């Protein structure tokens, strides 16, 4: 695992609660907001299960710690999106909180119902970008969530040991988290 | 009129159309000169592998590009060959996160 320069992290008091909100003006219209909210709730809960951080959705976009939106092309942060595939999303290191997804992608949560060759799993990308928001940079471990590339029609949502060790070094461990369960799940997926 | 299903209309390869052109650079190594190499340098510059202030890139596979390829292969967990082998080209063409790979200071390994 890798950190950003200076190893930035959120410095709220423990137990930490970070709020997140969706941009009222920059969303996609072919997925319902409830579907998108569910995707992000699951993505945040994966990280929350390994560190002592709670994530709570708020309606107040401007005051939220983490601000999520879908944008096209040049959207004013100096990192323009490039259309279908290529760059899928980006996020900023702590404590910036911006998490941007390329609105030009064919985002989905269900590859059975979306047959496009260029469909991208929203939950996988959301989980990866939340890792950046928390302070993790890109890893060289291919199986890890924080690996920089993701093929279309691929799902990678489960945190791997590399992801967990990285984020726990920043925030400590969730008292309910057991490494043995992660090792068991990695072993079973390796055997599969 | 029966319109084709959305999924049959999309003919874009499973890689980005822009980066798809990198296919032509397959097997290129130091000293080679291939049209489109400058776009690859732009790619490497964008993602933190070519920290050069002058972005007027040439199509030559020079020493700086070789170093960038080696660093990219190390960072992405690929075999380090210093050449644009098929694994490297395929990874370069894959959709990815827009964060630079080189915004890091601390590389940490598992105990």
Give per-residue pLDDT as tens, A155-171: 999 999 999 999 999 99
- Overall average pLDDT of the A7-12 stretch: 91
pLDDT of residue A99: 98
**Sheet strands side by side (includes A98-102):** A53-57, A16-22, A66-71, A98-102, A87-91, B96-97
Give per-residue pLDDT as tens, A106-156: 999 999 999 999 999 999 999 999 999 999 999 999 999 999 999 999 999
Mean confidence (pLDDT) of chain A: 94
ipTM reported for the complex, 2 dp: 0.93
* Any B CB within 8 A of A24 CB: no
In chain A, residues 104-143 whose CB comes closer than 8 Å to chain B = 106, 114-118, 120, 125, 128-129, 132, 137-138, 140-142
Q: Which residues of B touch A114 (CB under 8 A)?
A: 7
In chain B, residues 37-76 whose CB comes closer than 8 Å to chain A = 74-76
- Overall average pLDDT of the B56-70 stretch: 94
- Overall average pLDDT of the A68-75 stretch: 97
Closest partner CB to B17 (pick from A2, A5, A84): A84
What's the per-residue H, E or C state across A125-165?
Answer: HHHHHHHHHHCECCCCCCCCCCCCECCCCCCCCCCCHHHHH
CA distance A104 to chain B (A): 12
Mean confidence (pLDDT) of chain B: 83
* Any B CB within 8 A of A161 CB: yes
Q: Which residues of B touch A161 (CB under 8 A)?
A: 110
Would you give the end-to-end CA distance of chain B in angstroms?
63
Pair A85, B12: CB distance under 8 Å: yes
Q: Which residues of A touch B10 (CB under 8 A)?
A: 106, 116-118
């Amino acid at each position: 695992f890798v950190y950003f320069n200076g190893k930035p992290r959120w410095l709220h008091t423990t137990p930490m609660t970070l709020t997140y909100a969706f941009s009222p003006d920059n969303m996609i219209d072919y997925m319902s907001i409830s579907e998108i909210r569910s995707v992000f709730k699951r993505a945040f809960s994966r990280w929350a299960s390994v560190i002592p951080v709670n994530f709570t959705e708020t309606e107040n976009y401007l005051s939220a710690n983490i601000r999520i939106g879908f944008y096209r092309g040049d959207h004013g942060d100096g990192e323009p999106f490039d259309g279908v595939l290529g760059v899928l999303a980006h996020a900023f290191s702590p404590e910036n909180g911006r998490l941007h997804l390329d609105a030009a992608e064919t985002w989905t949560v269900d590859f059975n119902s979306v047959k496009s060759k260029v469909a991208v799993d929203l939950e996988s990308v959301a989980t990866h970008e939340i890792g950046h928001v928390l302070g993790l940079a890109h890893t060289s471990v291919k199986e890890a969530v924080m690996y920089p590339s993701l093929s279309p029609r691929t799902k990678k949502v489960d945190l791997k040991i590399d992801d967990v060790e990285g984020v726990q070094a920043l925030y400590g461990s969730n008292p309910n988290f057991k490494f043995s369960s992660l090792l068991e799940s990695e072993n079973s997926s390796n055997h599969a | 009129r029966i319109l084709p299903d959305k999924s049959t209309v999309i003919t874009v390869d499973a890689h980005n159309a822009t980066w798809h052109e990198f296919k032509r650079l397959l097997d290129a190594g130091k000293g080679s000169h291939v049209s489109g190499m400058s776009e690859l340098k732009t790619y490497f510059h964008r993602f933190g592998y070519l920290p050069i202030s002058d972005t007027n890139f040439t199509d030559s596979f020079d020493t700086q590009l070789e170093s960038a390829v080696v660093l990219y292969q190390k960072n992405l967990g690929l075999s380090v060959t210093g050449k644009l082998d098929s694994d490297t080209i395929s990874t370069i063409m894959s959709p990815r996160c827009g964060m630079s790979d080189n915004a890091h200071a601390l590389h940490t390994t598992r105990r």
